[in-house]
């Protein structure tokens, strides 16, 4: 990473930076966490895989019946009507039945191994069993209802790629392939702090001019997950000396530092100076978004630093846009910019051109083609939490758009996805 001159960067012009440009620059400050852990495959959900995993066995490991039915021989395939004798039965977990030849069938249950000689399986619903005599009135094509050995995954194939965030699907695949343990990246150590003379811990009494610190608990909740160890650095006053000590100590033991407050660049904002005193360098962005125009990003040594605005909605928007991607990059995952899902404005959205705006909105129905219809909630604003609680997500209004009329297309970021680990 090229060195950033803090004095020059903080004195940069007033030109607003687009989301795409800021995203590329901010994730570029990431350093991938070093070291690995070995964990049981069954307990690996949420961790980041360190290297490709291959399977030593094919999946499925043997030919088996895909349905409850009857296996028939090759000579009895594609016959309009069959009357067969039922020779035996095989269920999942049983040993393979004896060889089947023409004129005979074997009762098979789902998952049962295919006996020698069986060339197709007919569904039991397509048959009539009278004693030990089976009447089949539909033609049976070759290979019908047989899952072949290795048809899902061949032995030696990669079953999960490196840098994947493992979830329940991957756990199922790993366990099915007989992989007992996997190597995953070390848990990312992410420190979170707030700063501001007006802030007090939640639950403590407030004096005039004071507020509870909501940002730090919010950000810690967003970061919580199996791949991240969240470290609470507390809430600190606007003191550049104390902040410098906090940042320096955090950089010695953490991979990422996320702060909120003190980023706007006024005489009361000390985060940039504190990071510089701690031996780091930051870039100050004036983003072309609303809410959340000011943001800081940089590094202290290998430790990535992200400075978010103090207003909670602005901090939330910026973290979802940039913070989550920065953390993913440090964890070894390729970061992606959240693009939302297509939606339709159910009512007008006021908007002035020039900045991408994120507005709390709720779903109020579906359009004729199945897209969600969304409406704005309340007045919004960077410090209003109630609309967030009532909303289903953020509606994204592009910077180039003016006021949106009802029926206009926009992007919608549902909270059920945005707040997932």
Residues 268 and 314 in one domain: yes
Residue ending a domain, among 87, 119, 147, is 147
Least confident window among 221-230, 366-375, 410-419 = 410-419
Residues 123 and 88 in one domain: yes
Distances (CA, A) of 297 to 113, 263, 333: 58, 10, 19
Q: Is 385 helix (H, G, I), strand (E, B) or coil?
A: coil
Residues 346 and 279 in one domain: no
Which among 165, 226, 218, 216 is positioned nearest to 191, based on CA atoms? 216
Number of domains forming the structure of the chain: 4
Residues 119 and 256 in one domain: no
Least confident window among 109-123, 264-278, 393-407 = 264-278
Residues 280 and 393 in one domain: no
Q: What are residue 39's DSSP bridge partners?
A: 182
Q: pLDDT for 93-121, tens place per residue?
A: 999 888 899 999 999 999 999 999 999 99
Q: How far is CA 281 from the centre of its chain?
A: 30
Range of the domain at 378: 341-418
Instruction: Characterize 308-317 residue by residue with b for buried, 16 or more Cβ atoms within 10 angstroms of its Cβ, and e for exposed.
Output: bbbbbbbbbb
Residue 152 lies in a domain: no
Q: Has this prediction a pTM greater than 0.95? A: no
Q: How far is CA 291 from the centre of its chain?
A: 24
Assign 1 a pLDDT band (cuts: 50, 70, 90): very low
Q: What are residue 341's DSSP bridge partners?
A: 412
Q: pLDDT for 248-272, tens place per residue?
A: 999 999 999 999 999 988 877 899 9
Residue 194 lies in a domain: yes
**What count of residues does the chain have?**
421
CATH number reported for the structural domain that contains residue 20 in this entry: 3.40.980.10
Residue ending a domain, among 147, 171, 205, is 147
CATH number reported for the structural domain that contains residue 404 in this entry: 2.40.340.10
Residues 218 and 96 in one domain: no
Residues 314 and 224 in one domain: yes
Residues 41 and 30 in one domain: no
Instruction: Characterize 318-353 residue by residue with b for buried, 16 or more Cβ atoms within 10 angstroms of its Cβ, and e for exposed.
Output: bbbbbbbbbbbbbbbbebeebebeebbbbeebebee
Contact assessment for residue 135 and residue 127, using Cβ atoms and an 8 Å cutoff: yes
Contact assessment for residue 346 and residue 411, using Cβ atoms and an 8 Å cutoff: no
Q: Name the one residue in this structure whose structure tokens are 């043997």.
A: 62
């Amino acid at each position: 990473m090229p060195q950033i001159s803090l004095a020059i960067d903080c004195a940069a012009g007033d030109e607003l930076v687009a989301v795409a440009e800021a995203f590329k620059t901010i994730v570029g400050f990431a350093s991938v966490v070093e070291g690995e852990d070995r964990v049981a495959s069954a307990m690996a959900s949420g961790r980041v895989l360190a290297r490709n995993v291959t399977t030593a066995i094919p999946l499925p490991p043997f030919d088996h019946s895909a349905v409850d039915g009857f296996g028939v021989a090759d000579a009895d395939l594609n016959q309009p009507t069959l009357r067969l004798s039922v020779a035996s039965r095989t269920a999942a977990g049983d040993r393979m039945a004896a060889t089947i030849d023409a004129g005979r069938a074997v009762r098979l249950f789902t998952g049962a191994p295919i006996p020698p000689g069986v060339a197709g399986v007919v569904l039991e619903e397509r048959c009539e069993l009278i004693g030990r005599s089976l009447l089949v009135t539909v033609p049976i094509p070759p290979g019908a209802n047989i899952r072949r050995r290795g048809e899902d995954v061949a032995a030696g194939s990669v079953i999960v790629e490196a840098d994947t965030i493992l979830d329940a699907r991957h756990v199922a695949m790993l366990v099915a392939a007989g992989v007992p343990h996997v190597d995953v990246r070390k848990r990312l150590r992410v420190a979170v702090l707030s700063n501001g003379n007006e802030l007090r811990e939640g639950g403590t009494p407030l004096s005039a001019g004071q507020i509870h610190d909501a940002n730090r608990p919010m950000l810690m909740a967003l970061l919580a997950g199996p791949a991240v160890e969240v470290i609470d650095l507390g809430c600190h006053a606007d003191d550049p000396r104390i902040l410098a000590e906090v940042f320096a100590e955090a950089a010695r033991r953490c991979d990422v530092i996320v702060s909120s407050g003190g980023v706007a660049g006024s005489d009361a904002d000390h985060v940039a100076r504190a990071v510089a005193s701690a031996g780091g360098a930051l870039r100050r962005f004036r983003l072309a978004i609303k809410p959340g125009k000011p943001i800081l990003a940089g590094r202290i040594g290998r430790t990535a630093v992200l400075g978010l605005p103090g207003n909670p909605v602005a901090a939330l928007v910026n973290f979802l846009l940039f913070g989550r991607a920065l953390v993913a990059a440090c964890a070894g995952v390729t970061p992606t910019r959240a693009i939302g899902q297509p939606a339709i404005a159910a009512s007008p959205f006021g908007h002035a051109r020039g900045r991408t705006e994120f507005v709390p909105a709720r779903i109020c129905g579906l359009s004729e083609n199945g897209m969600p219809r969304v409406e704005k909630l309340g007045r919004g604003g960077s410090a209003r939490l109630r609309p967030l609680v009532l909303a289903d997500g953020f509606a994204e209004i592009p910077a180039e758009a003016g006021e949106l009329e009802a029926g206009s297309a926009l992007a919608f970021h549902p909270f059920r996805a945005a707040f997932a680990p």
